[in-house]
Chains A and B, each alone.
Chain A
């Protein structure tokens, strides 16, 4: 039987371990192979009991009760629980008044669901570059992409960091556009006292079980600032006979998880801060940038490489990244690329067949572009120069594990010779020169 614990406890790292030979060159890894499993989501007896009790209630009451509790937590005026994050994004767009053929400005870096939700709403995604520090939608690039057919801007709170909502809000007000959040990474993220999901005119959010705030499997939530937007989305579902309902099983699990979300958020914030301090100390690794007044939810934790800090800036940065990736994985740090290609260069946006026969792209041919990765230099640079921790920071991992992650980064940063050797010995294509991956 699987238990909620690793097979053995991890000891805090000893000083000698961090100066020992790299695991990739025959040394001992910072995290032994047998102890690398990260349990997520954390499932407790309350989750089980909540599900058992929910069986005794009407399904619509279980789902409705959960939606109301989470809506209140977020502070949005209205909510519709859904079967997935993608469907919640589609409903957010529909609620915001998006019509077939309208243009919706989205970032070139996000999960593909953001842009697919725009297609599902029968609108045209117009891709723009990201800010090179926050990795969220660049307001200036968004401003430059506005046309007379633009109806909304849909920023993504990338990895849990709220996008530059004040600048985007001002832009939307100036041009009469709707501001629709993709808050799928941003549970409990905030700007000031306002929680992601309540920052825009409407928002969609994934609650699938691999997110910071998990329901019991698949699910999402659409949020609306106005009753009109809420009614538009509900009417749309009714009129078109679409079933996007959330299962009561998913909802019941979410209801008990919601009680513990603030606790897990605190553990994540502590872990992110501790890891951030350790990375900053290396000079070579840079933690996520968090603008003042923003609260990052750390659904993912993107680490940026600074090759000049250790004298390897004469090498191509993507080769340095690939070398570092190998070294970290060998140490037991499950670092990933998480995305290798700008979304507009994925097949559905190259072929643009949509629902068939090119619909809805055919409604607005002037909005359509053939894109290359180079069209989005900040996105391309980010893909070339960053690595991501996913579940490892999402889960409330034990303190000793976190210390070991931190020391593994430090151990690698101390070895520019090893990085140089791997980077020059191997052949590394740029990330977006390989086949596009979802994650």
Chain B
């Protein structure tokens, strides 16, 4: 990706005419998935529209549901409240069910390092603080977990781009409660720009600071 600023990226995606996540020809969501799997060295990325959606995906992906207790040592109160809303109890015993990273302009270049430190079977990466609206991803090496998470986010479908017409081949993976946790391609494109720029050496950076206007 070239050194685009937010305005250029937004214009580029609008000009492509493809701004829907379920459009067969969308390239933005797969591109961000590829970048995240590469940077975190995980097999699969499931993009969603908020940190809480990613937490839901991480837990449901591992088969946790109503009435279960999950281990989340040192978790904060909002997370505890959300996990409680899912009908799960939070205990402190055993290794964490997922690890949780929040990226912002100040640490966007550290995703690889942070991901390497994570040992949980699922990694929740909150992308909201990058400045393009609520956005997050679930990263995992467990393809079963990724597959269940993908189905949770889009009414049981295993693939965004064929959601209207696909026929379920693995009914046992279809979740009982299904959400629309889809991320918008325009948001994904901006997040990718932000992560790509952060990952480059300082000398390569263009004159514009990423997303300067959003927080002004």
Asked whether A242 lies within 8 Å of B82 as measured between CB atoms, the reply is: yes
Residues on the A chain within 8 Å of B64, using CB: 356
Q: Is A414 an interface position by the 8 A CB rule?
A: no
Q: Does B185 contact A (CB under 8 A)?
A: yes
Pick the contact of A355: B16, B82, B87 (CB < 8 A): B87
Does B113 sit at the interface, judged by CB under 8 A? no
Tell whether, in the assembled complex, residue A247 and residue B184 are in contact, meaning their CB atoms are under 8 Å apart: yes
Are B132 and A247 touching (Cβ within 8 A)? yes
Which residues of chain A are near B175, meaning CB under 8 Å? 348, 353
List residues of chain A with CB within 8 A of the CB of B176: 119, 348, 351-356
Stretch with Cβ within 8 A of A (4 or more), from B89-97, B101-109, B162-170: B162-170
Q: Which residue of B lies closest to A245 (CB)?
A: B134
Beta-carbon nearest neighbor of B10 in chain A: A51
Among the listed stretches B17-25, B32-40, B137-145, which one makes contact with chain A, having 4 or more residues with CB under 8 Å of it? B17-25
List which A237-285 residues lie within 8 A (CB) of chain B.
Answer: 239-250, 253
Do the beta carbons of A43 and B186 come within 8 Å of each other? no
Cβ-defined contact, B10 with A48, below 8 A: yes
Of the candidates B16, B53, B155, B184, the one whose C-beta lies within 8 Å of that of A249 is B184
- Give Cα distance in the complex from A353 to B184, angstroms: 29
Assess the B186–A355 pair: CB atoms within 8 A: no
Q: Are A240 and B19 in contact (CB-based, < 8 A)?
A: no
Given contacts A84-B49, A355-B66, contact A250 B184 (CB under 8 A): yes
State the CA gap A2–B19 with chains docked (Å). 13
What's the least CB distance linking B45 to chain A, in Å? Answer: 18
Number of A-B pairs, beta carbon distance below 8 Å = 192
Contacting B at CB under 8 A, from A401-439, are 434-439
Residues in chain B near residue A435, CB distance under 8 A: 167-168
Partner of A356, one of B16, B50, B68, B164: B68
Which of these, B21, B66, B81, B171, contacts A218 with CB under 8 Å? Answer: B21
State the CA gap A217–B64 with chains docked (Å). 30
Contact residues in B for A244 (Cβ distance below 8 Å):
50
Report Cα–Cα, A351/B64, bound state, in Å.
17
Q: Does A174 contact B (CB under 8 A)?
A: no
Q: Mark out the residues of chain B between 166 and 182 whose CB falls within 8 Å of any chain A CB in the assembled complex.
A: 166-168, 171, 174-182
Q: Output the nearest chain A residue to B165 by Cβ-Cβ distance.
A: A437
CB within 8 A of B52: which of A59, A119, A241, A347? A241
A368 CA to B171 CA in the complex, in Å?
Answer: 21
> Which stretch (A130-138, A208-216, A306-314) binds chain B?
A208-216
B75 to chain A, nearest CB (A): 11
Q: Which residues from B are CB-within-8-Å of A239?
A: 81
Residues of A within 8 A of B66 (CB): 354-357, 359
Residue pair B134, A243 in contact (C-beta under 8 Å): yes
Q: Are B184 and A217 in contact (CB under 8 A)?
A: yes
Contact code string A21-47 (vs B, CB < 8 Å = 1, else 0)? 000000000000000000101010001
Partner of B21, one of A112, A217, A434, A437: A217
Interface string of A108-137 (1 = CB under 8 A from B): 000011001001100000000000000000
Most chain B beta-carbon contacts within 10 A, residue among A210, A219, A247: A247
Q: Which chain A residues lie closer than 8 Å to B166 at the CB level?
A: 437-438
Q: Is the CB of B186 within 8 A of A217?
A: yes
Q: Are B177 and A439 in contact (CB under 8 A)?
A: no
Q: Considering the chains assembled together, what is the distance between the CA atoms of A132 and B132 in angstroms?
A: 45
A209 to B165, CA, bound (A): 19
Which B183-212 residues have C-beta < 8 A from chain A? 183-187, 190, 211
> Do A83 and B49 touch (CB < 8 A)?
yes
> Given B20, B50, B81, B156, which contacts A217 in the complex, CB threshold below 8 Å?
B20
A77 at the interface (CB under 8 A from B): no
Q: How far is the CA of A210 from the CA of B185 in the complex (A)?
A: 13
B50 close to A243 (CB less than 8 A): yes
**Residue ID in chain B nearest A239 by CB atoms:** B81
- Whether B1 is near chain A, meaning CB under 8 Å from some CB there, is no
Q: Could you mark each residue 215-247 of chain A with 1 if its beta carbon is under 8 Å from any beta carbon of chain B, else 0? A: 011110000000000000000000111111111
Q: Does A398 contact B (CB under 8 A)?
A: no
On whether the beta carbons of B132 and A249 are closer than 8 Å, the reply is: yes
Min distance, Cβ B89 to any Cβ of chain A, angstroms: 12
| B74 CB-CB contact with A under 8 Å | no
A1 touches B15 (CB 8 A): yes
A426 to B51, CA, bound (A): 50
Asked whether B84 is an interface residue with its Cβ less than 8 Å from the other chain, the reply is yes
In the complex, which residues of chain B have a beta carbon less than 8 angstroms from the beta carbon of A101? Answer: none
Question: A residues within 8 A CB of B183?
Answer: 217-218
- B60-87 CB mask vs A (1 if < 8 Å, else 0) is 0000111110000000011111101111
Which chain A residues border B17 with CB–CB below 8 Å? 2, 4, 39, 43
Q: A240-B82, A249-B186, A347-B174 are in contact. List 4 more A-B contacts (CB 8 A).
A: A52-B10, A55-B213, A245-B134, A439-B163
**Contact surface of B with A, Cβ cutoff 8 Å:** 6-7, 10-11, 14-17, 19-22, 49-53, 64-68, 77-82, 84-87, 128, 131-135, 155-157, 163-168, 171, 174-187, 190, 211, 213-216
The residues of A with any CB-CB pair to B shorter than 8 Å are 1-2, 4, 39, 41, 43, 47-48, 51-52, 55-56, 58-59, 83-87, 112-113, 116, 119-120, 208-210, 214, 216-219, 239-250, 253, 346-348, 351-357, 359, 434-439
